[in-house]
Amino acid sequence: MGGPLLKNYVDGKFTAPSTRRNLDVDNPATGEVICQVPMSTAADLDVAVQAASRAFLTWSATPVSRRVSYLFSLISAMRRDEEELCKVLVEEMGKSLADAKAEMKRSVQNIEAACAMPMIQQGELLVGAAPDIDGEVLRLPLGVFGVIAPFNFPAMVPFWFIPYAVATGNCVVVKASEQVPNTLDRIFALIHKTGLPPGVCNLVHGDKEAAEALIDHPQVAGISFVGSSKIAKTVARRCVEQGKRFQALGSAKNHLVVMPDANMDECVRNMVTSCYGCAGQRCMASSVIVAVGDQTYQEVIQRFTTASQTVPVADPLDPAVADDPMVMGPVISAKNKSFIESMIEIGVQEGATLLLDGRGIEVDGCPGGHFVGPTILADVQPSTQVHTTEIFGPVVAIMKADSFDEAVRILNDHPYGNGASIYTASGYWARRFKLEVKAGMIGVNVGIPAPVAYLPFGGQKASIFSDIKAQGRDVLNFYTDARIVTQRFWPEK
């Protein structure tokens, strides 16, 4: 055990929870312990929810212009401290500095989008709904919302939810991932300095016990969760049973379709970034390439394999590579590394051709790091484990389709439908792709079709278990109740 012990942020103060159970957090590139994180109990979680419930009474009545003023202050603070926040993020998660900076910018963009709440939370009025009667729709906050964050985006994913919940007049309790608690801890220190009233935003560290206590707490109106589909489905079911609102975003297996008319130079460069960024540990990472036609398939195999061999694998904070936008860091843990390597072996056993093997890679100066190099499996068949399983690592499956229609069938038959992209110069193929493919986020000559903060984020099929997606204007409907008022006034006597 070693490193400083983090505290929860509850009711406007950093305080130690009652738990005596702590977990070491290590740097996945070096294996060195960064800090310790407390495994909060259900009782610790209840303290945070009670603080949020008390704060809601006054926060919900605070004018919306005043509510967003704290968000403007947070934007300034995060921009000022961006470099430090990014280094903290890289140290605990392992992604490159370039990816960390992109994540931090998207986090700020979501806060900016929520600052538009004075306009987007305005209600509706129908004058003359009936004789002498008007109809009105008010968008009112609901209470306390819970956010359960994943390890791969310690800053961005929580801010798909936090600023919108706060701006609409709700209070939040965030359960940070126990694998990457430092980034949110630093951001909540900035939130504290904005002067946000105590109890509006609360941070609880912990594992499954704290998460389940948050989901089941009777004073929590809704849950926003991002993680695996298996857990997302469980979260959704538990929320339904308790009459709670929920956003439960799950797993992905994003496909890139390469048409014969694609600009292959740009295509390959784009695919490498999409497949290996964050070591493949992002829900928008592409892990399947479907080449249409034998000639396209052979060219993709040759050129993508060659390009993949040039991806540097290193500690992202090593000064020698820190400025390289293509550097690939470690995966999050030894457990994840072991799973990824086992899936590579399963792919070989299923008959795939191993063109590039990232197992056993050694990085100088990082004997305790959890590294897997770029890995390519060709001749992958639909419905095999390596095709249907979310591996969440730098492992790419390459498949061949004889036609555009066959490529679409491969995508649509897959259980997940998070994101999908097509590389083509043809408006005809692009139009058909975006209309026919069953995925929530579509790209045309874009390897990572992640929408900007002003648009919704979320997939289809088993990639999501909710009607309302994350971020953007639509999330207003999740964090507010549509209060419908029918009113008439008779003349005074």
Residue type, 407: A
Measure the CA–CA gap between 259 and 404, rounded to whole angstroms: 8
- Residue of 22, 48, 24 whose CA lies nearest to 34: 24
Q: What is the CA radius of gyration of the chain?
A: 24
CA distance 64 to 67: 5
Cβ neighbours around 320 below 10 Å, total: 11
**Numbers of helices and strands, H then E, in the chain:** 16, 21
57: left (phi over 0), alpha (psi -120 to 50) or beta: alpha
Contact 229, 463 (CB under 8 A): yes
SS3 state at 320: coil
Q: Identify the active-site residue in 171, 275, 283, 366.
A: 283
User: How far is C-alpha 104 from the chain's CA centre?
Assistant: 12
Amino acid at 301: I
Q: Could you say which DSSP state residue 188 is in?
A: H
List beta partners, residue 442. 420
10 Å Cβ neighbour count for 293?
A: 17
Q: Under a CB-based contact definition with an 8 Å cutoff, are residues 284 and 449 in contact?
A: yes
3-state secondary structure of 124: strand
The Cα 4–Cα 360 span in angstroms is 32
Beta bridge partners of 133: 130
* Burial zone of 490 (CB within 10 Å; 0-12 exposed, 13-18 middle, 19+ buried): exposed
Asked about 283 being catalytic, the answer comes back as: yes
Residue 251 and residue 229: Cα distance in Å, rounded?
5
CA separation for the pair 395, 254 (Å, rounded): 12
CA diameter of the chain: 89
User: For residues 9 and 50, is the Cβ–Cβ distance under 8 A?
Assistant: no
Known catalytic residues?
A: 283
